[in-house]
Structure 1
Amino acid sequence: MKRRTLLAAAPAGAMLASAANAASAPTSIALWHAMGGALGDTLQASVDKFNASQSDYQVQATYKGTYADLLTASIAAWRGGKAPSIAQVFDVGTADMMAAGRAVVDVYKLSEMTGVAIDPATYIPAVRGYYSLNNGKMGAAPSTPPPP
């Protein structure tokens, strides 16, 4: 059977209902992290607060084990075409991620895309240098603790 025939065989009402649900469904954001215990609880509380504050986006935070486990899982998922929207990578994995090319969006590009200003001068020179690309632009950024 040809693909055209399969598409035509689907009930029109079901197709319209599916399209309407997709249009009204929030954008899903997969956040993989390596924070267990109290830090994981704090992160989940922040995610829950964000999700409750609006209906356009829904963040699903998933604990992936140790930082090394998270890095390995993120790389494998990207290679398999199923990478998370956001992966929290530890500082030792920063160079791997910054060298990953299309697998990541550099922080300075993300800032330009979203209009959210990220001022590299807010970081001390050693930190700014560690997370910068060879051209001096921020490739990554250190995580900051959530506000109390």
Structure 2
Amino acid sequence: MAIKSSDIRLADEAPTSRLRTVKRVLLGGFLVFAGVTHLTVAREEFTAQVPKSVTRYAPVTADQVVLASGAAEIALGLSLLFARRAQRPTVGWVAAAFFAAVFPGNLAQFVHRRDAFGLDTDKKRFLRLFFQPVLIAWSLYSAGAWRRRVR
């Protein structure tokens, strides 16, 4: 398959704007911060969110899941902050997939009524479920991923 000059141009010109850049930097910083807290001060809180089914069927502990997800968040955050423009859409899709993958933890927290991060009522835990699609959309928008896919 031959590469056309228009394909190369599109890869080099991933969309950007001041607003998109600010949102990407905020999301990247948020992910790095959250990842560091996974590894340090909030490990216990995050452990409460790991669905029992994850540790029941896989040879890992809830703490290992928290450590791995923290490392993934740091890597994603740094990628959003420092990836070259042409790579950002891919990073956006990976971040969106990550947010979709951790949604079962949020759902388990709601279903099993686990308190963590100030989510100490059913209403708060339920409302948090709606934040995950916002993070997915934020990832796709801020990295220019959705716009690239539509083209």
- For the aligned pair, the TM-score class normalised by the smaller chain equals under 0.3
What TM-score comes out, normalization by structure 2 length?
Answer: 0.25
What TM-score comes out, normalization by structure 1 length?
Answer: 0.26
Structure having greater relative contact order (Cα 8 Å, sep ≥ 6): 2
Flag the structure with higher strand content: 1
Flag the structure with higher helix content: 2
